[in-house]
Structure 1
């Protein structure tokens, strides 16, 4: 679904993107939906950097769980700072995934902040020695911009972030309304790091939607496919870019490819092109890194954009609908007091 080319003191101040190095996990992209992506020359932006040496823990278990949208990922070689709500010296588990889930279980309250919003696990038996299996559950003052104690190849810890109700929400502010997106760092930690750094820029010139295709007759208003109807075109999505003019975009690694449901926000390839799905696309077979979900009531704005005037085009043999007038947007942050909605299903 890529766009055709040429279309038109322990705390350290370390860029948040370093937290979230990704893990190569996704299957081959669904061939019938691949489109060429635009690449824009730009100046270097030091925020978008990363460190190597990141690996996956419990890959088989993780892949099976992610098939149901249940992610629990973290970044290796990273130790997060924070107030400890459960000490690892007294709390040992078998995997980073179990540690992540323990933090999630302390973040299930419908109201109020999470007791635990970050976790730190020691899973390398050789490096950890007597600390092997320690799971530290912690609380960040601001989980969108967590504090780092240490990071790098020599760090034996793996860490991750968990967002509670009203936390981890960004918004795409358009002339047609605001689209709030709940980020999923447990599925795409590297993507969350990129978006955290994007918020720090305080501007997002160049971000816009350029493709819009409604559900048509193929999917109902809940996103379910209607029997015997063709699954596109139209494909039930809007597509845009998060490339900021004057900034350098470093391609993101593949992260969790959970099922693409109505309201899912996912990268096309390695970004910065992305899509918001209007339908449940089971036929795409977990082919896209999913990094967020649209707040349910804001899907009305997504639907409105999908109905805007378009022109027909063909990208790599795929019929598409391109907006006659691209929809520009600003990327801003929403805090808990500003957002009361639940994410769409």
Structure 2
């Protein structure tokens, strides 16, 4: 009997220990789950607020590729065949993807002086439609990369084409009465966006193009665009915003293209355009939400800052407090003359 008692007591203590361990485990799991949910909830609120702060249309934004800039992108426009003098014959030069073809063109555009040896690539990547031409990669040279020669386009065209801008090339001006913002276009990251901008260059005027919203960096970002620790993320939201829709051109929504993290100087669409903004700060909190099609040259950011400090009036968009310019600022899209990578003043008219 005594032996049985000795067997019963350990069993009773074991049950108590197991019960205690179970309760402690449950408490730990609950604490971890609560922390995760609380952190996730805060991030969601922050992200939604950031997406809404630059305009009404936020549905078009997507994550896209996580490329950090032009050097990491190689995109083209489908169903388009660009013409030009061939520097590599596609019949003897084949790849498995348009990206490889694009990179082959980029490899011929690494010099610091003068134009690229290759500024246009044309690839046939639809096996059924291309037939024996499948995989052909034609590397070409345009007479004028800002007005590329189009052979044909449309659904029946099996080619994908893209253009490459070398150092000092592919720069446009957004002229305002406060100065001209020189912007380096990124056709390898946002080819559809850049094609639209090049279309605007062919117009004598950009009627309707303007900046209408301006918000400074406030006390949340330093002069280099870095966020100050523990400072709010707005308002103000460190940007100037406008539209590139002109009464002379029927605007078609721009597809989501490369959406890197917004940096100081980034020029990006809001949704599918034509609303756009120039960022005055590094906005890591906006994640990868906006197609970036250009970047303001650093020496011109003082002009953007000047616009951001013009008189404004308060407004509310999507429950977000914003600052709208008291007087909208018309802008003109200009082509900037370049010579061996050096920017000169004036609009090229020839």
With normalisation by structure 1, the TM-score equals: 0.78
Larger radius of gyration: 2
| Aligned counterparts of 2:250 and 2:160: Cα–Cα separation in 1 | 28
Please, which moves more after superposition, 256-265 or 83-92?
Answer: 83-92
2:193 paired residue number: 191
Q: Equivalents in 2 of 1:271, 1:125: separation in Å?
A: 33
Label 1:235 to 1:338 Cα distance change in 2 as closer, same or farther (>3 A).
farther
Q: 1:136 aligns with which of 131, 135, 138?
A: 138
Instruction: Provide the rounded CA distance (Å) in 2 between the counterparts of 1:311 and 1:76.
Output: 43
Shift of 1:88: 1.9
Deviation per residue, 1:282-310 (Å, 9 max, x gap):
11111111111111111110111111121
Residue 236 of structure 2 corresponds to 234
Shift of 1:338: 10
Equivalence for 1:73: 75
Is the helix fraction higher in 1 or 2? 2
Residues 1-345 of structure 1 mapped to structure 2, 5 A cutoff: 31-32=48-49, 33-34=51-52, 35-36=55-56, 63-64=65-66, 66=67, 70-245=72-247, 247-337=249-339, 340=342
Show the counterpart of 2:22. none
Report if the CA contact (8 A) 1:119-1:138 is conserved: yes
Report the Cα offset of residue 323 of structure 1.
Answer: 1.3
> Is the contact between residue 69 and residue 189 of structure 2 (CA under 8 Å) also seen in structure 1?
no
Is the Cα–Cα contact under 8 Å of residues 165 and 336 in structure 1 kept in the other structure?
no
**Secondary structure at 1:170's aligned position in 2?**
strand
CA offset digits 1:224-268 (Å, max 9, x no partner): 212111111111100011122354322222222122111110111
Cα offset, 1:155, TM superposition: 2.2
Residue 339 of structure 1, CA deviation: 7.0
Unaligned runs of 5+ in 2: 1-46, 58-62, 344-350
CA distance in 1, matches of 2:177, 2:300: 13
Distance 1:232 1:31, change over 3 A: same
What is the aligned partner in structure 2 of residue 53 from structure 1? Answer: none
1:99 CA displacement: 0.9
Conserved 8 A contact 2:115-2:340:
no
- Runs of 5+ consecutive residues of structure 1 not aligned to the other structure: 1-29, 38-59
Number of the residue aligned with 1:12: none
The alignment of Structure 1 onto Structure 2 pairs a total of residues equal to: 289
Q: Please give the secondary structure, in 2, of the residue aligned with 1:181.
A: strand
What secondary structure, in the 3-state scheme, does the structure 1 residue paired with 2:260 have? coil
Which string of whole-angstrom CA distances, capped at 9 and with x for unpartnered residues, describes residues 165-197 of structure 1?
222221111111110111111122111221122
Alpha-carbon RMSD across the aligned residues, in angstroms, is 2.2
Give the CA deviation at 1:154.
2.5
Cα distance, 1:109 vs structure 2: 1.2
Q: Equivalents in 2 of 1:158, 1:80: separation in Å?
A: 9
Deviates more, 1:276-285 or 1:162-171: 162-171
* 3-state SS, counterpart of residue 109 of structure 2: coil
2:117 and 2:228 map into 1 onto residues whose CA distance is: 42
Q: Secondary structure at the match of 2:132?
A: helix
Q: 1:167·1:335 contact (CA, 8 Å) conserved in 2?
A: no
Q: Is the 8 A contact 1:73 1:160 kept in 2?
A: yes
